[in-house]
Structure 1
Amino acid sequence: MALSVTPCGNRKTWDARVRVTGGHPELLWGIGDAEALTAQDARVERVAVDRGQQTVGYSQLVILREDLHTVVDARSLHVKTPRHLTEVLAALQDHARTAHEAAVLRVSPDTDATPELTELLTGAGYRRADKPRKGEAGPRHLVVRLGETEGELSKRLSDDTLQRCRAGLRDSGVRVRRVRASDRDLSNVGLRSEYIRELLRAVGENSVFLVATEHLEDGTETALGYLWFVHTGESAMIYRLGFTDRARQLGVDDALLLTGLVQLQQRQVHKVLAGDPDRPSQPMVLRELATEEHEAPGTWEYPLLGEFQVAGRVEKTGAGSWADARRTRPPTTCCRSSPRSATPLHPSRRRRPRPPTTCPSRHAPGTRLPGPRLSRARPSSHPTVLPQRGPVRTTPRRPPGRAPGWTPIRIWCAPRISSRAVHRRTPGRPVHHARRGAA
């Protein structure tokens, strides 16, 4: 039976599906709304891939504009059975092509990475968008099992890390509090309160947002750092975090993490997806509490349009595909315009043509130039007429070793003929049109 893609517009139904099936916290409805608030010109669509009355996969599609192309990003794609991954991807390809006119489908499956899965994706025409380490099937992620009590977490920490956490909260000026969408303004401590409030409204109650502040001697209060967990009934992830150098010096970063993990325990969350273990900024608390490592397949891309397949991915340097540049560039200008805009460069930034200089010659004086640039002299009654463009030079009247009858002629130094009708001007060479004559 063929698969069908069905959009979902009910938040409660969607979040209930994520919790019941053990989906990634990134698939929660509020995360999609938060991404739409933070990303520029981003739209979010929640879709389920069904076979009849049974759902075989679902994902939260983020529709973005990248380098003049539409990209559909299926983040943390959940598939009921990994062997059905290619079938689910084929259904998402048709949906992205027809519903959004996308040029690229980007996927990051939420499953274990295996060599068989890598061969399956490669054989289906997908290519990696990330670069895993040598010998690894995909990026690694730490997994922290929380256990039941705070004592279980403390026993797994080293003495130095545990003392550092306690010292971070022992300072009388340091305060840790949980922030909700209905809380008072936080701009007095240096945080963008309105922006945080909008994100908290989007994510809802499926999150734990902690802020650490310090009271200074002058009576003011300043933020030392923040930590944001987003969780389902089974697992949680670190959505965002940030600490100042002062917080790391006092040990507030580790203390805030340990406090957040204890609050997740109270919410019956069993595990935390902690990110890349080799990241330099990975907190020591998460490194020591991690009980296992999980290898994910990573991010893969599939080109949906034929023109996009020929042109290839647009480079980060800003050079668009050849077809896009041909459509957007004015046909009569010699100045290269930006591929991100159909308008040419600003007039003040155009290059002014340089005056022509004498064409250099690789041959010593007194030698005959090869090729069609030299011909036998004609009678004086029929002078040779050459274009009066570019520099002109004269050959000797009697080149050594040549028979009488050779007379001086004038030679026009022409540029190399390009296959394109219009090319950029080269200093020292005049602009030449390939259809109006040859050298």
Structure 2
Amino acid sequence: MTPDSHPQTRELTVRECTDRAAWDALVTAHGGHPLQLWGWGELKAAHHWRTERLIVGDAGRPLGGAQVLYRALPWPLKSLAYLSRGPVGSPEDAAAVLDAVARHVRTTRGSVALVAEPDWDAGSPGEQGLASAGFARTDSTILIPRTLILDLTQSEDELMAAMSRTTRANVRKNLKGELEFRKIASDAELEQVLAIYRETAQRAGFGIHEDRYYRDIWRFLGEDSPIVAAFDGGEVVAFVWIARSAGTAFELYGGVNAAGQKARANYGVKWAAFTAMKADGCTRYDLNGLLNDGISDFKKQFAQHEDLLTGTWELPLSPLYPVYAKGMPLARRALQEGRKAAKAAVRQTKSAAGQARGVAGRVRRLVRR
């Protein structure tokens, strides 16, 4: 199906929302994900993206919407449009909402493609809606669809029972010990968290943003981004950083320093995060992605199941989409071979394929920032 096709016949309106309270009320009313909240869009707008919030209406009634993030691409591709755990709305209305959003983006922005990573289970009715709106599944994921989502409507005893035996023992030992578990409450405590995150990243070998990015999360999301920490004598030794909407808690980051490792505080602080979000009224806790690594192995100790979301879907919006799409596999290969090899490949050719490779490499690096 092309972007000009109509998955549904009803006439829908699309208007931009410029009021934070109204937008967040829409997200709340439709059970939206925290990455669709106004504050998350403000964060991304401060770090290389443009943000637009669109309300899709049906006969004057809000049907749903989408916080669209735009990333500038090299000429002539203009931009990539991205729905981070969007759209907002029921999976049953997905086709209508997505078609309306796609038309607006194509007409007003001229983006090369619209990428959506909804907060829906694999096999949900939303997948048919995505296909009806012209989207196709892609392996070029930004957020990992394989994850672990806890049902916070369960009792604490039920949540505890789902853990491995060793994990329960470590959590209970923390709870009986001298560590204090609570949300951080000051800029000074935030700086301790950032120091631990830098230490954790260096120890585990993963990349992180500059500190300003994390300070902006704290500033723009406010109460919608609580940080639950373990304190030892007033000093932070472990933390879990969360983005939270009315129903969903989404784990952003976590870390532990040497003192916290010795005390196994990363177990207790995880439990403290679960129970704090349950107390705040969240019904789901998404541990945000499972890979085949040590961090994922740690996450999997807290339940005996896994969840699979619908994944990444992409809709072409421009005649230049083939150039963009052709470069994606080449870009991934180039990134695997190393930055030097990718730059050398771009320098050695002036062909269309070479241009696609260069564009795509920049696209993937830009979108993942």
2:296 counterpart of 1:282: yes
Q: Match of 1:85?
A: 94
Q: Match of 1:184?
A: 188
Q: Match of 1:7?
A: 16
Residues 136-151 of structure 1 correspond to what in structure 2 (within 5 A)? 139-147=145-153, 150-151=156-157
Unaligned runs of 5+ in 1: 133-137, 216-220, 330-335, 341-439
Closer/same/farther in 2, CA of residues 67 and 118 from structure 1, 3 Å limit: farther
Aligned with residue 229 of structure 1, among 230, 238, 242: 242
Residues 35-434 of structure 1 correspond to what in structure 2 (within 5 A)? 35-37=44-46, 39=47, 41-68=48-75, 69=77, 70-78=79-87, 80-114=89-123, 121-122=130-131, 125-130=134-139, 139-147=145-153, 150-168=156-174, 176-180=181-185, 182-184=186-188, 186-187=190-191, 190=195, 196-212=214-230, 224-244=237-257, 247-248=260-261, 250-277=263-290, 279-280=292-293, 281-282=295-296, 284=298, 287-289=301-303, 293-309=306-322, 312-314=325-327, 315-316=330-331, 317=334, 339=358
Using the alignment, how far apart are the partners of 2:240 and 2:70 within structure 1? 27
Closer/same/farther in 2, CA of residues 99 and 249 from structure 1, 3 Å limit: farther
Using the alignment, how far apart are the partners of 2:122 and 2:213 within structure 1? 36
In the TM superposition, residue 236 of structure 1 has moved relative to its aligned partner by 1.3
Closer/same/farther in 2, CA of residues 254 and 285 from structure 1, 3 Å limit: farther
Using the alignment, how far apart are the partners of 2:27 and 2:251 within structure 1? 17
One-letter code aligned to 2:249: A
User: C-alpha root-mean-square deviation of aligned residues, in Å?
Assistant: 3.8
TM-score, normalised by the number of residues in structure 1: 0.60
In the TM superposition, residue 168 of structure 1 has moved relative to its aligned partner by 4.4
* Cα offsets for 1:86-140 (capped at 9, x unmatched): 33222222211222221111112333332876566456543333279xxxxx933
User: Bigger CA drift: 194-203 or 230-239?
Assistant: 194-203
User: Bigger CA drift: 62-71 or 23-32?
Assistant: 62-71
Using the alignment, how far apart are the partners of 2:326 and 2:291 within structure 1? 28
SS at match of 2:107: helix
User: Bigger CA drift: 92-101 or 186-195?
Assistant: 186-195
**1:148/1:265 contact within 8 Å kept:** no
Using the alignment, how far apart are the partners of 1:226 and 1:36 within structure 2? 26
TM-score, normalised by the number of residues in structure 2: 0.70
Using the alignment, how far apart are the partners of 1:257 and 1:312 within structure 2? 40
One-letter code aligned to 1:162: R
Closer/same/farther in 2, CA of residues 165 and 42 from structure 1, 3 Å limit: same
Computing the radius of gyration from Cα coordinates, the structure with the larger value is: 1
Closer/same/farther in 2, CA of residues 206 and 283 from structure 1, 3 Å limit: farther
SS at match of 2:148: strand
One-letter code aligned to 2:99: A
Using the alignment, how far apart are the partners of 1:89 and 1:267 within structure 2? 31
One-letter code aligned to 2:263: L
Using the alignment, how far apart are the partners of 1:265 and 1:118 within structure 2? 29
In the TM superposition, residue 12 of structure 1 has moved relative to its aligned partner by 1.1
In the TM superposition, residue 199 of structure 1 has moved relative to its aligned partner by 1.7
Number of matched pairs: 315
Using the alignment, how far apart are the partners of 1:243 and 1:116 within structure 2? 40
**1:18/1:28 contact within 8 Å kept:** yes
Unaligned runs of 5+ in 2: 1-9, 197-209, 335-341, 360-369
Q: Percent identity?
A: 24
One-letter code aligned to 2:243: V
Closer/same/farther in 2, CA of residues 254 and 66 from structure 1, 3 Å limit: farther
User: Bigger CA drift: 6-15 or 80-89?
Assistant: 80-89
Using the alignment, how far apart are the partners of 1:245 and 1:282 within structure 2? 20
Closer/same/farther in 2, CA of residues 55 and 115 from structure 1, 3 Å limit: closer
Using the alignment, how far apart are the partners of 2:56 and 2:72 within structure 1? 24
* Cα offsets for 1:228-267 (capped at 9, x unmatched): 1222222211122233566445321111110111212222
In the TM superposition, residue 326 of structure 1 has moved relative to its aligned partner by 7.3
Using the alignment, how far apart are the partners of 1:84 and 1:271 within structure 2? 22
